[in-house]
Amino acid sequence: MGGNPRRIDETAVGNRYGEWFSRGLRGIGMRYVFSRRGLWVINTPYRHILNAANITAEDRVLDLGCGIGNILIALAERIGFSHPPAGVDVSPDLIRIGEREIARAAMHDRIRLQVAPATHLPFEDGSFDVVLTSHVLKHLDDEALLTSFREVVRVLRPGGRFLLWEFEKSARSALLFWSARVSGLPPAFQLRTMAEFSRALQLAGFHRVVRVDTGIFLMPPVPRVALLATR
């Protein structure tokens, strides 16, 4: 797919993020940037992107790699869901912090989080109408990416939507590698082009894949790709 055979340990990536979010001044900064309050920093145009999925109150929603639940909290603030949206993340530490964030937002009965990898979702077939994921897929190698997409196909109902956005592989993405080297963030990652994501989605069984305009991201100011795939 990307011509890169290297393997990425999904669990190790989650553990490293858990350490960063839990310790010292870096942890405080990370918890803010990735919280509902910090969405404008790392996910600046998130409302614009989410609109592409046309999420309604009746939709059953899953956030894949939900981190500390920021996107789900933002959605639940705007939409009175009939079914509590769900979130999964491979990091137990992030899920624990996310549960605290949800309680802080007084939404403990409106959002459900649990520990699970993107490659093995603990849900029955056809459990969701919408799956979304943001800035997670770079931490999956090619084999895990395809497995994850097949899991998304499995848990979506026929006609369900999968909305994803991620850093895009391009010459302008050099800043991301530079900042990672300087800061130690993030752990192992692999960037992909729109064509590579589209090919993987089609291999996994999605029938229609369209590009979504991402708008402008504040931090880091490097290209993103957003896609809406229909099962």
Q: What is the pLDDT of residues 217-230, one digit of tens each?
A: 767 778 889 999 99
User: Residue 146: which residues within 8 A CB-CB, separation 6 or more?
Assistant: 1, 200, 203, 204
pTM of full prediction above 0.85: yes
- Taking the C-alpha atoms of residue 150 and residue 202, their distance in angstroms, rounded to an integer, is 10
Give the Cβ contact number of residue 110 at 10 Å.
Answer: 17
Residue 186 is predicted with a pLDDT of: 58
pLDDT tens profile 156-206: 999 999 999 998 987 776 666 666 655 555 567 889 999 999 999 999 999
User: What per-residue confidence (pLDDT) applies to 175?
Assistant: 66
* pLDDT value at residue 39: 78
**pLDDT value for 155:** 98
- DSSP assignment, residue 192? B
DSSP conformation letters of 146-191? HHHHHHHHHHEEEEEEEEEEEEBPSGGGHHHHHHHHHH--S-S---
Q: How far is CA 229 from CA 131, 136, 197, in A?
A: 10, 16, 10
Q: Would you state the structure tokens that stand for residue 143, as one six-digit string?
A: 């084999």
Q: What are residue 192's DSSP bridge partners?
A: 168
How crowded is residue 195: how many other Cβ atoms within 10 Å of its Cβ?
Answer: 11
Q: What is the pLDDT of residue 185?
A: 58
Please tell me the distance from the alpha carbon of residue 186 to that of residue 182, in angstroms, as a whole number.
10
* Pairing mode, strands 128-134 and 208-212: unpaired
CATH architecture of residue range(s) 10-230:
3-Layer(aba) Sandwich (3.40)
For the beta carbon of residue 63, count every other beta carbon within 10 angstroms. 25
For residue 2, pLDDT beyond 60: no
Residues 102-159: tens digit of each pLDDT: 999 999 999 999 999 999 999 999 999 999 999 999 999 999 999 999 999 999 999 9
CB 186 within 8 A of CB 129: no
Query: What pLDDT shows up at residue 52?
Result: 93
pLDDT, tens digit (0-9, with 9 covering 90-100), for 44-82: 778 889 999 999 999 999 999 999 999 999 999 999 999
* 24-33 and 10-22 helices, crossing angle to 10°: 110
Cα–Cα distance for residue pair 172/222, rounded to 1 Å: 6
Specify the pLDDT at position 178.
Answer: 61
164 near 133, Cβ under 8 Å?
A: yes
